[in-house]
Structure 1
Amino acid sequence: MAMALITKRAVDAAKAADADYFIFDDACGKPTGGIEVVKGFMLKVTPKGKKVYFYQYRLARAGTADKTPMRRITLGKHGDLTPDEARERAKELAAMVAQGIDPRQRELDAIAAADAEKAAAEARARLEGELVFEKVAARWLEEYELDHRPTSVGQAKVSINKYLVPKLRGKPMPHITKADLQAAFDKIPAKQKATRQQVFAYASILWRWALERGDIQDNPVPSMAKPKALKARDRVLGDDELVSIWRATVTLREPLGAFYRLLMLTGQRREEVAGMTWAQVDRAAAAWIIPADKAKNKVQHIVPLAPGVVEELDRLALARQVKAKVNKPDPKQWPQTGPVISIRGKLPISCFSQAKTALDAEVAKVRQNIEPITPWRVHDLRRTLATGLQRLGIRFEVTEAVLNHVSGARSGVAGIYQRYDWRDEKQSALVAWAQHVQGILRPAEQSNVVALDRGKVVAA
């Protein structure tokens, strides 16, 4: 251990050795020239000639004669600091030690405080940036869109963007309270029960997703009063109403008329019929295969095509060929690509509200001299077909298969082991239904359809 008054001359004179060594600040009995010796101030010299200033100290333990273990604080490199600057810094630290303050701990506390302040600033920035409600909701919608049907995605976007974003915009999602969310729900008119129920359902999915990701620590939705469930609809259209609707489709702009006639004859869901593509239908096999990713229940569904449905598709195929100016149009040559029901030929129809309004106007014309039809929805056509099949004596399992319902006889354990697809029975059932519809359209003609006990239908 070397001792010397640490001055520029002494530092410059210090030479590298085989190992690190320290020079402690000490006058060694010589005049200091007014320089104050600082106990614990030292210079370290490395074998490579690097020189670093340190301050070393021990702190008295409160209420005892003991002291803490020796601690050493780096003041800085020679060159970055002059000996005088390093000495002044050592004097400041020595004054703190004399007051019982641990410089090293203060330094650590300062670092911790800076880290905490930085973390708080980053947290604030995240809250005010990526965690504001509209941004979290947008990320959720992007992910939701990847594995859900277009209809469900559309409903989710309307529920979030129309009813929640305007009320919660700019609010950090972790700070949105039950009261905030309730206030947003309360803005939806009480008479719009279906809307309230839908918005609540999508809000529940969104908040659960955010909780699972760690974006929020608390989910207020489960503690809220869930909107009362709507009464299940049981509207079934009568034969005279079906006749009026069918006749109205004849005067409706095409392909909208064909769209509604296909809904009546197949009983499939609105989005499935609207999304039908030519690649999904086969004229020779008289079948329409709805892929699993296009079916509501994610189960591939084969829909046998009754002759009346084939005729509708023939007309649509012919119209497309005529529009494309094909030399010799042939309705039996169905296209291989593109949507079946399309206004401009590139995208499937999606103007459901406008189409229904137009249809209702045509129905009113058809029934101008008789009692108007009680308000009805497109889904009622599907329920009417199901009820009609039961009236025709079709087995319940076959009706479920026609509708592609994974419920009743096709659910649970029975559904796992029941792999029979009822194709022949479905075909007979849909042919019988199409004949029934044609029969009520021509009441003067006598129907020659006979329903059998096992759901098979044959001509008498």
Structure 2
Amino acid sequence: MDPQVYAEEQERAKQEAARIAKMEQAARKTFADGFMKWYEAKLSKRKDGPDLLRAMQKDVLPKVGDMEIAKVARADLLACLDTVAARAPRMANRLLTTLKTFYKWAELRETVDVNPLGIVEAENVGGKLKSRERVLTDDEIVDLIRKLPVSGLSASVQAVLLIVLSTGCRLGEICSAEWQHVNGNVWTIPKENAKNGREHHITLSAFALAQFSVLQEIREGAWCVPSPKKIGDHQTRLSIGAAIYDRQTQKAQRQGRTAATDALTLNGGRWTAHDLRRTCASGMQELGIMPAVIDAVLNHKESKGVTQIYQRYDYSKEAADAWAKWGRHLAGLRAIATGNNVVPITG
């Protein structure tokens, strides 16, 4: 054999042996080791990263975290996802996407040789989910306002839900709000807290301001909605979402959860905090407010193309009027709920 050819073959064999040894060493690492490395490198940079990590720590890592990453099989992961899907199909699908993205990252770095979830689709886990269209009627809003004080939710969470309803903000935006962002009757959502990465200014109606006053009375530092469990941190949208869900289950109490399993049940069926945002938009539409103004209220990103380039008016004045008009409507519903016939005539 030609000495050069022999040397090249030896070098290739050496490199292949080193590659296999590297993979074997990586395979001996636990699933949790690999996932947390990916979390620090990638997932932690995303706005939903902390929420997804909490979901993984609750339903996946306790079951497969200590296993060697190469020995974690599709059946192991699907067992975790099936448990989540039984109570929250949408979250199960989000975790599936998270795990598939993690495995793609791990494959590229030869931490694993194969993605066990490669052939698994959302329809195999949480199923194909329809877009929610739930909107609360005025009668349901009255019922909700009556039920909140006796629901067992903290005063701060009650205020948060009414802020979402009256401003159309996202639940995560109010959970991550700081008092430095609230100046008089203007609440600024910084771009890092906004889903579309664009700063948003909300002119608070009297109804919404009253909810911020509730939060101010129980203020504990920089966060508008401080965490009840972790000092120096804020409340999370997942914990509030779980608290709402638990009060509409009409099932036996889950361990560590409220016994008031129907405290927030409404006639139109199960509702979520995001449905309150949709209710705000639909309510404004019923009050005759222009769709473009409602988009400004919701901080929707402009469509691409010519509209995005040339139509730059932000409808800030009209949005302020819309929040005030919707706030007056909510104040009227609150008056019905509480039996107080005195309704303020200003926003």
Structure 1 residues without counterparts, runs of 5 or longer: 1-60, 62-67, 69-101, 324-336, 450-457
Structure 1 residues 448 and 113: alpha-carbon distance in aligned structure 2, compared to 1, 3 A threshold: closer
Which residue matches 1:434? Answer: 327
Instruction: Tell me how far apart the structure 2 counterparts of residues 125 and 222 of structure 1 sit (CA, whole Å).
Output: 21
Structure 2, unaligned stretches of length 5 or more? 249-258
User: Is contact 2:189–2:199 with CA below 8 Å preserved after alignment?
Assistant: yes
| Residues 435/170 of structure 1: CA separation in 2 closer, same or farther (3 Å cut) | same
Distance 1:425 1:169, change over 3 A: same
CA RMSD of aligned residues (A): 4.0
Residues 1:339 and 2:223 are matched in the alignment:
yes
| Partner residue of 1:420 out of 307, 313, 328 | 313
Do the aligned residues in 2 keep the contact of 1:144 with 1:153 (CA within 8 Å)? no
SS in 2 for 1:292: coil
Deviations 1:262-303 (A, max 9, x none): 1221121111111111111110xx211111111122221111
Q: Please show how residues 108-119 of structure 1 align to structure 2 within 5 Å.
A: 115=14, 119=18
Shift in CA distance, 164/357, structure 1 to aligned 2, threshold 3 Å: closer
| Contact kept? 2:69, 2:112, Cα under 8 Å | no
Residues 60 and 77 of structure 2 are in contact (CA less than 8 Å); yes or no, is this contact kept in structure 1? yes
Alignment-derived partner of residue 255 in structure 1: 156
CA distance in structure 2 between the aligned counterparts of 1:208 and 1:417, rounded to whole angstroms: 39
2: CA distance, partners of 1:113 / 1:362: 67
Count of matched residue positions in the alignment of Structure 1 and Structure 2 = 321
Asked whether 1:279 is paired with 2:180, we answer yes
Cα distance in 2 between the residues matched to 1:238 and 1:117:
66
Separation in 1, partners of 2:261, 2:318: 33
Alignment match of 1:184 (pick from 64, 70, 77): 77
- CA separation in 1, counterparts of 2:328 and 2:143? 17
Whole-angstrom distance in 2 between the partners of 1:273 and 1:148: 18
Identity of aligned residues (%): 24
Q: Out of 29, 34, 41, which is 1:143 matched to?
A: 41
Q: Which has a greater percent of strand?
A: 1
Relative to structure 1, is the Cα distance of residues 352 and 446 closer, same or farther in structure 2, using a 3 angstrom cutoff? closer
- Structure 1 counterpart of 2:252: none
CA contact (8 A) 2:27 2:112 kept: no
Q: Counterpart of 2:216 in 1: which secondary structure?
A: helix
* Higher helix residue share: 2
Could you tell me which residue of structure 2 aligns to residue 304 of structure 1?
A: 203
Shift of 1:239: 1.0
Match of 1:356 among 244, 247, 253: 244
CA contact (8 A) 1:266 1:303 kept: yes
Per the TM alignment, residue 244 of structure 1 is displaced from its structure 2 partner at its CA by 1.8
User: Is the partner of 2:42 in helix, strand or coil?
Assistant: helix
Task: Return the offset for 1:195.
Answer: 3.8
Alignment deviations for residues 118-155 of structure 1 (CA, whole Å, 9 cap, x no partner): 7267325423345x533221111112344212x44322
The letter for the 2-side match of 1:341 is: V
Please, which of 292, 296, 305 is the counterpart of residue 401 of structure 1? 296
Counterpart code for 1:133: F
Query: What residue in structure 2 maps to residue 134 of structure 1?
Result: 32
Asked whether the equivalents of residues 249 and 359 of structure 1 are also in contact (C-alpha less than 8 Å), the reply is no
Counterpart in the other structure of 1:86: none
Higher relative contact order (CA 8 A, sep 6+): 2
2:253 aligns with: none
1:375 to 261, 266, 270: 270
